Structure formats: structure tokens, C-alpha cells
Amino acid sequence: MSLPERLRAAMNEARKHRDQPRTLLLSTILADLKNREFELQHPPSDDEAAEVLRRAMKRRREAAEQYAAAGRPDRADAELGEVKVLEEFLPAAVDPEEIRRAVRDAIAGGARDVGKVMGQVMPKFKGRADGKVVNQIVREELSAA
């Protein structure tokens, strides 16, 4: 079953159980997917759909940070809860040790600054690793090298 089909099925299930917050979240994501379909002028592939999910998760994490900074931990928790729901639909994240090995290989290959290392490592983990995590590991390894 494709990612958009899984999202639709989950939304229908949430509707049946009268889970209004989950239904609203999933219908919002499906609307984002529909907008992406109009942009692409073809139904989104699973990779393209996963990218829409990742963007939605990033927006919610940023909103959670802003709510926390504004002293609204209740809203921040709600946003992070939505991130957890969306994570269910994505493939498992890459193990940080696997990222660390790829970063060390890139550094051993001659890359000496963050941009060059990121440019070599990110394509290997496209869609499976958060850029912030990769960037943090790159900075740790470059400072240790």
C-alpha cells in the first residue's frame, strides 16, 4: 500500500473512532499531498509524499519550539504529539552510528568543511535522516579530526 493510501486509511479509521485531533491532522496532511500533486502535475510517489510529511513534521517542531519559548508547554506538547503521529508513516530513521561512519568516510576522502561533508553524506541518507542530526554529527567529527 502506498503512503497516500495508508494516510487515507488511517484517516478513515480515525473518523470511525471519532478521534477528531487525529482526523484533522491526517486530513491536513492529505490536503498538503493534494497541493503537491497539483504542483507536480502527477500523483506523488512515496518519496515525494514522504517529503511532504517531513516538511509538515519540521513545521510542527518549529511551532513547538516557539510555543515553548512563549511559555505555552501545553501547545508545544500538542505539536510534538502530532509529530509522533506523523512519524508512524515514515520508514525507520537511520542509526546514528551508520551516519557517523559515512561522515568519517567523507572526512577521510578529503572533505574538510561542513558543507562538503554534508554534500557527500546527505544524498546517501535522503529521506531517512534528519538534516539537523547529520549536521550535528558532522560538526562533532570535524572538531575531533
In this prediction, residue 145 carries a pLDDT of: 66
Q: Note the pLDDT tens digit of each residue in 49-75.
A: 988 998 999 999 999 999 999 999 999
Q: Which residues contact 136 (CB under 8 A, 6 or more apart)?
A: none
Confidence at residue 93, expressed as pLDDT on a 0 to 100 scale: 74
* pLDDT (tens digit per residue) in 67-97: 999 999 999 999 999 999 998 998 777 788 8
Query: Which domain, by its residues, includes 42?
Result: 3-87
Domain final residue pick, 66, 87, 108:
87
Q: Which residues contact 10 (CB under 8 A, 6 or more apart)?
A: 22, 26, 89
pLDDT reported for residue 91: 77
Both 26 and 83 in a single domain?
yes
More confident residue, 128 or 2: 2
* Structural domain total, the chain: 2
For 126, residues 6+ apart whose C-beta sits below 8 A from its C-beta are none
Domain boundary pick from 87, 106, 135: 87
Report CA 55 to chain centroid distance, whole Å.
Answer: 6
19 and 60: one domain?
A: yes
What pLDDT digit, counting tens, does each position of 8-48 carry? 999 999 999 999 999 999 999 999 999 999 999 999 988 88
Are residues 30 and 79 located together in one domain of the fold? yes
